[in-house]
Amino acid sequence: MSFTRAIWDETKDMFDAILALPFNRELADGTLDSKRFAFYVQQDSLYLTDYARALALLAAKAPDSASAELLLGYAKEGIEVERALHERFYATFAIEPATRQEPACFAYTQFLLARTALDAYPVGLAAVLPCFWIYREAGLEIARRARSPNPYAAWIETYSDDAFGVAVAQMLELTDTAAAMASECECAAMREAYAVSTRCEWRFWDGAYRMERWPI
């Protein structure tokens, strides 16, 4: 069994919990309150800026130029694709851009930046993987469940699209390659980093549904 398949199986209950969140159930149904979706888009825009920074930090530690180029490409192209998607949402739902990361977003981005800056390359790679892989699997599952017409069809199409699937497959290959070269201690740290990021994914969607803000 590959390393990535093993960590997916270890955290499958977390993924099931993500799919069960009201945000994702209602997004598939097309009944999600637009205010909740707007909050999500605002925070996701802020998240992606730091996610790109995390990928760039990771690229600087990559063991070969091909891996570095791939990660830098995701940092650049990901921002461009997501920015275009968010701008579409801004116009469709009359969303104003936010300037402050709220608790769920802040916790997640700080974790990613810390892992990619301070830890070994394989650990940082495991930390950024859930953003790719979980969105892909959630996008596919939501697409299967989605009612049509759906006001959130653009979101569903983006993350269930074959092009995104190619990017995810490349990230999985990078992670499996890194794990094969990592020490036993590093592999344990990779597992933990992946699990924490998966919990952060759950909290991000949950926080968006509750529109969680700093209490003071």
Integer CA distances (angstroms), 42 to 82, 83, 92, 109, 208, in order: 12, 11, 14, 14, 10
DSSP state of 213: -
Q: How far apart are CA 114 and CA 205, in angstroms?
A: 21
**Tokens 């201690």, located at residue:** 185
Contact between residue 205 and residue 18 where contact means Cβ atoms under 8 Å apart: yes
Residue 33 is predicted with a pLDDT of 97
pLDDT at 7: 98
pLDDT tens, position by position, 159-168: 999 999 999 9
What is the average per-residue pLDDT within 97-125? 97
- Choose the CATH number for 3-210 among 2.40.50.140, 1.20.1260.10, 3.90.1170.50, 1.20.910.10: 1.20.910.10
For residue 85, pLDDT over 90 is answered with no
Largest CA distance in the chain: 50
84 vs 122 pLDDT, higher one: 122
State how far the alpha carbon of 212 is from the alpha carbons of 36, 132, 138, 201, in Å. Answer: 10, 24, 22, 14
181: pLDDT strictly greater than 90: yes
Mean pLDDT of 149-166: 94
Q: What is the mean pLDDT of the chain?
A: 96
What's the distance, CA 80 to chain centroid? 15
> How many residues does the structure list for the chain?
216
* Rounded Cα gap, residues 20 and 25, in angstroms: 6
Residue with tokens 């977390």: 14
Which pLDDT belongs to residue 183? 97
